[in-house]
Structure formats: structure tokens, C-alpha cells
Amino acid sequence: MVRDAARANASPEAGDALSEMDAQTEESERPILRFLTCGSVDDGKSTLIGRLLFDCQLIHEDTLESLSAESRNFGTTGGELDLALLVDGLQAEREQGITIDVAYRYFSTPNRKFIVADTPGHEQYTRNMATGASRCDLAIILVDARKGVVTQTRRHSCIAHLLGIEHVVVAINKMDLVDFDATRFAEIEKDYLEFAGALGIPHITTIPMSALQGDNISRRSDATPWYGGPTLLEKLESVDVSSAATSGPLRMPVQWICRPDPNFRGYAGTIASGGAKPGDHVVALPSARASSVARIVTADGDLESASAGDAVMLTLSDEIDISRGDVICAANDRSEVADQFAADVVWMSERPLLKGRPYVLRIGQQSTVCQITDLKHKINVETLEHVASRQLELNEIGLCNLSVTKPIVFDLYADNREGGGFVLIDRLTNETVGAGMIRFSLRRAHNVHWQAVDIHKSARSTLKHQSACCLWFTGLSGSGKSTIANLLEKRLYIQGRHTYLLDGDNVRHGLNRDLGFTDADRVENIRRVTEVARLMVDAGLITLVSFISPFRAERRYARERFEGSEFMELYVDTPIEICESRDPKGLYAKARSGNIKNFTGISSPYEPPEYPELTLHSGSKSPEMLVNDVIEYLVSNQIIDEV
């Protein structure tokens, strides 16, 4: 009313300014819909987005002129205007006529604002599709009317569903190429709905269309009188995607601690769900320390309240210890804290997911090392059948149990996408190799606790007059690891040291007799031996481990399971030619003839240590000389006394 009165008494110039303010207010108040387009390659995703932009009159004249020229050079429409080129920005995409990267576009109508992610259709770029889907509320899954529902259609539907997208529009495209046949549309619709019903997608709309010609995109098509549903734009403008994040409990991951002077301590971050106002009771996790909100600070002054999506700084009534990565939660409705949980994982790397291999897990601002402790099953995207497997390959989806080295704060993905989604990162290459959605914490994580004991490792070591440690010998088969380790243990025994030798072959007769020699089995082999070696070091023993242990990732994991300088990597560096000449069992010859699969150095890789504590050149020194080198190293590092 105040604004209406001001407009009535304003000058023409002031009236224009007020009208502009009204337009800006209306623009800011219009709801935003984030959606993605996906489906198999060449189903018309980029053309569809280009058509939406074109029909909404959001393409400038100079862009149209440039598009016309590019259509003649790169287009796939015989020289006609190729609307897909509005989105396919990479040169490689334009030359191949496909989408490789995720392209984001913004457009609006009088009723709504839109952010659209155009994702690639090729199977090898499925990881890009998962990236695009992670923040979307609706998925448009395109289906070529000539091909129908294909494997990639099902795979993208599975991923969209796992990522929490509840609204799916099935755009049955290129209907012009099947003469707008209603029967063909009904066949594809029935096929998809049967699949989606088993998957559990709650809201599905199917629309017949031609993105190239504009049928049923922003206008109803005369070619489909048998279709009575909405156009695509009508559906996008009207769909209700009210976020659970707004109505959920407070969750604010702490991104930064602001301490400009001794009198101020603020915790900055973006509110992921719920809201906050001064006086609200909160708790900081994982410490579980409680307080209440004192102020909500922004660059423009304090706020009376803040809600999901707001970047703010909270000050609390009490001085409590909060670090980057902690989560400020509503005191009466907290996130979970656990070190073991089950999650759906979409695998994005050409190197398979291996049970037992350590990865870096990042969830919000938290980062920790994790292992896949169990792969319960993977999903057959054609039938949705649960299939037993020991590893996940590129683009496969599976249900896994994960264990992290320190408890993390999380919500179930179904309740909070921000707090329940994570990525897995390869520790050596820093490549993002997987995306996960937490289903539930594992009950055993709440039932298993550390039992306090009075006699500890240092006491046991002192009783034995030695420093407990793990000497980890690694190298190719035939390099001399076991020979050197055996001679070393004899020398230490003569000196009165308390030792134990874990040898790769011997352990496979008992503890690891159920394991083969695949990459997955090798990872599990080292994981088990690492835990046994830790127990022996805890007992105060000098523990010698002689294993090929071919992968750096597993040796790094083993090192991190020990304290301080307890772990020493000894690389027995022997040329493969010498290893083969020493081979009494003829294993190398059998491997070269193909009779032994996954043999390290021949058909399976060996990754030499980059920074071992000691390198033993077995090809140029005798085992006795190398043992002297190890003894000298142990004395110089005060592991044993000089004899």
C-alpha cells in the first residue's frame, strides 16, 4: 500500500524507478526450478534446451546470426538453424555433434526462473550426468521415439532416483520421425512406466514432442490431437518441488571460523536446511557441545532469521570449540554421528572400486579416509536385479558398507541431500572416482567401543627392552624378500630380540586361504595382514612382514594404521630378469605362457615405493650384506641397541 501511494504521487521519472523496483522484486520472488536433461546420446537434449530458449525469446539477434553461421559449419540439420549449438559450447562437441561436458543455462518466464543442466548421453560420461543431477529437482529424460527405452535411459533414471529426484518428465522426442504415431507413444510410455514403477519414482509425466520442430514444447501441437497433457513448459512452470530443506531441522556446515579480535568469534557457512534465529538452541557436532544462537551476522547487518540457502555467520552464547567441518544443528533434532554406514555408490572411474582399498571421503566440509568394507550388491540397470559382485566397474551402481577413520556428521540422503551425499577421491591421483548417498548408519557402529586396558604397547616394549615396530618388506616375487626377512629374524633372535615374521605364502595357508590373486583379493590380503601386524606391534614385537604388496595405495594404508615411526617400508629392488632366474617353481614361465593369471610383474602391475625408508638392491648384494644394512638402519634409528 505504501508503494502504491508513493507511485500515485511520484513524478514520471520516479514512477519509472518504482516500476523497475517492482520488476526486480517480482524477479527475485519468482521460484527457481533446477532441472537437467539426460538420456541416451543423440536423443535431442541440447536441441530441446535450445528450443526452450528460442521459444521464450531469450536469444539476441547477434546470437541468432552467429548461430546461423555455425549451423552451416557444424550443424546436423542440413544448414537449417541448429538450436543444439546454443548449448554445445565445446569445440569437440560441435565437431562430433554430441554433448561431452555438463552445460548450464539460465532462463526465465513470467512465472518461474530456471537453471538447466544439459548432461552428456554417452555411457563414458555418465559421471558428468551424476554431477549435473546432484543439485536438480526435476529430470527430463529424453527418449528417441524410434529407439524407445534403452539401457542408458534406465541407467540415468536409476541415478536420478538415487540422487533424490522425485519428479521425472519422460520426453518422447522425435515424434515427427514416426509420424506422431499415438500407438508408438503408448508403447514407449508403458515400457518406461513399468520400469519406473519397480524403481519407485513417485512423479512421472510423459510428453510426446519434437524438439526440432517445437511440438508440445511451449505450444500445443496440432499433430498430437490424441494427447491431452501439458506442454513441457507448462509442466516446468507448474511442478511443485518445495524443498524439504526449507522445512527440515537446522543444518549449517561450518566453513570458516572468524576471530578478528578476542571479543568476537563467529562461525561462517551456508545453511543447508532449516532455519535459525537468535535464541534457538543448537548443538555442534561431532563434539555434541550445546549452546544457543546469539546473533546472525551478515555484511549488511544482523538478521532476525536465516533459512536454507543463506550464507551467514552465527555467533553463539557460549565459548565452545568448533572447527571447520563441524555441523551446527538444531539441538532437538540432530544429525547422526558414526564411523560406519551403508550407502548407494555410483562408480565413476575406469579403475574399479575395490573392497578394502582406502579412498578419501568428502561430505560437506568434512574429509576423512574410508574403506569399502563390503559390497552388498550391484544393480543391473536393465532389470533392477541385485547382483552379487566383488567390485564396481565404471558407471555401475552398488550398495556398499563403508568405514571411516574418524566419525563423520551426516543425515540420511533421503532426508537431506546436502548432508547425506558424498564423493570418493583416489588418494594417489586426486581423481573423483565415486559419488555416494548415505542410506543408514550401521548398527554395529553404535555397539562396538574401545575397551580401556591398563597394560599398553609401550609397557610391553619396555619389558622386552626394544622398540616395537613393523618392518614391511615389499618387492617382486623372487626378489629375495623372504630370504632377507628370515635371515634378519635369525640375527635379531640371536641378539635376544622378540620378533615375529609374517610371510605372504605362509599366511595364505590359514588366515588368507580364501583369497585369490585378483586386484580385489590382493587389497583384502594386505588389509588383513596389516591388522595382524598392528596387533603384534601392540604386543611389543619387532614384526617383519614379507609380502609382494604390489599397490602403493594399500602400502600407504598399512603405514597409516601405525603410529609415528613404527612403520618402515623396505623395498627389495631386484630386476625382473634376476627374479625370473631365481624362480624355482617356474611361476614366471607359467605366467608368460598364460597359465597363471594376475601374476605381479607380468599380467598384474607392481607399483614401486616412491619414498621407502630403505632400498635393498638384492641384485648386487648378498642377502647377508643386505641384512647388515637393515641392522645398521635399525641401530641408527634407535629401534635396537648397538651390538
Does the domain formed by 27-238 have CATH 3.40.640.10?
A: no
Say yes or no: do domains 245-330 and 457-636 share a fold: no
Per-residue pLDDT at 46:
77
CATH class of the 245-330 domain in this structure? mainly beta
Per-residue pLDDT at 414:
85
pLDDT in tens, 145-177: 999 999 888 888 888 888 888 899 999 999 999
342 has a pLDDT exceeding 90: yes
Instruction: Read off the pTM.
Output: 0.74
Instruction: Let me know: does 34 contact 164? Beta carbons within 8 Å.
Output: no
556-582 burial code (b ≥16 CB/10 A, e <16) = bbbeebbeeebbbbbbbbbebebbbee
pLDDT in tens, 78-96: 555 555 555 544 334 334 4
What's the mean per-residue pLDDT of the chain? 84
Instruction: Let me know: does 217 contact 231? Beta carbons within 8 Å.
Output: yes
pLDDT in tens, 446-495: 666 667 788 888 899 888 888 999 999 999 999 999 999 999 999 999 99
Ranges of each domain in the chain: 27-238, 245-330, 338-444, 457-636
121 has a pLDDT exceeding 90: no
Per-residue pLDDT at 100:
41
pLDDT in tens, 616-635: 999 889 999 999 999 999 99
300-to-280, 296, 311, 313 alpha-carbon distances in Å: 22, 11, 12, 12
Q: How many Å apart are CA 319 and CA 150, to the nearest integer?
A: 58
In angstroms, how far apart are the furthest CA atoms of the chain?
104
Per-residue pLDDT at 8:
43
Per-residue pLDDT at 178:
95
pLDDT in tens, 199-210: 888 899 999 999
Instruction: Let me know: does 73 contact 177? Beta carbons within 8 Å.
Output: no
Instruction: Let me know: does 547 contact 473? Beta carbons within 8 Å.
Output: yes
303 has a pLDDT exceeding 50: yes
DSSP 333: B
User: What is the per-residue DSSP string for 31-58?
Assistant: -EEEEEEEESTTSSHHHHHHHHHHHTT-
Assigned architecture for domain 338-444: Beta Barrel (2.40)
Per-residue pLDDT at 123:
59
pLDDT in tens, 564-584: 889 999 999 999 999 999 887
614 has a pLDDT exceeding 90: yes
60 has a pLDDT exceeding 80: no
In CATH, the number for domain 457-636 is 3.40.50.300
28 classed as catalytic = no
Q: Which of 157, 441, 549, 618 is catalytic?
A: 549
Per mean pLDDT, which of 80-94, 186-200, 433-447 is the most reliable?
A: 186-200
pLDDT in tens, 228-278: 999 999 999 999 876 555 678 999 999 999 988 888 999 999 998 899 999
299-to-104, 264, 266 alpha-carbon distances in Å: 29, 15, 13
